[in-house]
Amino acid sequence: MTDKTAHTGKNTGGGDVRLTGISKSYGSFTAVHPLDLTVPQGSFFALLGASGCGKTTTLRMIAGLEDPTTGTVFLGDKDVTDLPPYKRPVNTVFQSYALFPHMDISENIAFGLRRRGIKSVKKQVDDMLELVQLGDKARHKPHQLSGGQQQRVAVARALINHPQVLLLDEPLGALDLKLRRQMQLELKRIQTEVGITFVHVTHDQEEAMTMADQVAVMNGGRVEQLGAPADLYENPQTTFVANFLGTSNLIEAEVVETGADVIVTAGGGKLRVPGDRCTSAVRQGGKVLVGVRPEKISLTHADDAGSIADGRNRVTGRIADSSFIGVSTQYVVNSPAGAELQVYEQNIERDTRLVPGAEVVLHWNPAHTFGLDAAQDIDAGVETVEDAG
């Protein structure tokens, strides 16, 4: 591993990226509603959301490529809102990373230094080539490189300018799935090695969760929730986040008792939800949505219902569909509590009676249950076939 300072230069005091009350309107349309966001220095931060939610607009305001309608952009303690892009210690890598086709890889990487009139670039270019593991391709032209290699050149070309912050806008969008997965790990390694703040825009929830320390989930120009990947996944605060990050079963229910646990009824049965996993609206009582992830649920054939341990949440139903996908089998179960509940069972000891038509009990540890406000669209953030991919 190379010395950090070889790539990043001196740490100039740096600091967090802080957006305060930042917004962007185009005429009467608000692309980004006033938002406050802090990206900690040195972190890998993802802006995640569906197409059109305002990710690129937010990124462009950090870069200075877009004037905010309201609000302030700080880098550390410095207000950079009125600085032009080239005066900000920020570089951007776009999806179309457009390398210079007639220059070889070394020259592409050296470009930013040359433009600033720096003559002796060899050492820095070599360090960058090593960082992105393309030392043997220095004399190749971009068209002789794979998509992933070209992407790494684009990253090196940006990092050689020693930005405090690297902005990445769907940088892996042009790559096929397998290469994307490889590059996600590669970019994460590079970020860890150079220690520069990365702000990464993606609509791919798996990509955001794999790479980022912190994820801001955006929806309709607003940040719905911000947190570490596991926290967002386990404790979604809105139906959008519950559905957009992985899959959630959301069950319409009614509160009957509140205390340390909240007890609800759904489809004639009672379910227990830990009070600290309920949003404040849920603790007010009334109609609520109860959530549980598909992998937390166990399936037991109705004939064996007596074997299920006491104290587990349980829902009876009938298997509507099952798909064997090797590592797991994914079941769709219809029940009085909810239609089309999703259950993922690891294929360890498969019960051959669990086929479509079978009567089953779904059961899970109540600790894995969360409660959300019912006054929101239960299907918000559900991936439609159109956006899939």
Ligand X SMILES: Nc1ncnc2c1ncn2[C@@H]1O[C@H](COP(=O)(O)OP(=O)(O)OP(=O)(O)O)[C@@H](O)[C@H]1O
CB atoms under 10 Å from CB of 308, counted, come to: 13
In sequence order, what are the residues at sequence separation of 6 or more whose Cβ sits closer than 8 angstroms to the Cβ of residue 299?
Answer: 319, 331, 333, 343, 345, 351, 354, 360, 361, 362
Closest to 337 measured CA to CA, from 281, 287, 266? 266
CA angle 229, 233, 236 (to 5 degrees): 115
Site for ligand X (CB under 6 A): which residue of 18, 55, 88, 200? Answer: 55
Binders of Mg ion among residues 45 to 64 (CB under 5 A) are 56
CA–CA dist 199, 166 (Å, integer):
6
Distances (CA, A) of 110 to 115, 162, 212, 340, 360: 9, 12, 28, 55, 64
User: Per CB under 6 A, which region of 54-62, 103-111, 259-267, 343-351 contacts ligand X?
Assistant: 54-62
Residue number with CB closer to ligand X (349 or 386)? 386
Q: How many residues bind ligand X (CB under 6 A)?
A: 12
Binders of Mg ion among residues 145 to 184 (CB under 5 A) are none
Site for ligand X (CB under 6 A): which residue of 88, 203, 277, 363? Answer: 203
Q: Is the dihedral of CA 293, 294, 298, 301 positive or negative?
A: positive
57 binds, among Mg ion, ligand X, none (CB under 5 to 8 A by kind): ligand X
Residue number with CB closer to Mg ion (171 or 317)? 171
Site for ligand X (CB under 6 A): which residue of 13, 21, 52, 356? Answer: 52
Minimum CB distance to ligand X, residue 223 (Å): 12
Binders of ligand X among residues 28 to 47 (CB under 6 A) are 29, 31
53 binds, among ligand X, Mg ion, none (CB under 5 to 8 A by kind): ligand X
Binding residues for ligand X (CB under 6 A): 26, 29, 31, 49, 51-57, 203
Binding residues for Mg ion (CB under 5 A): 56
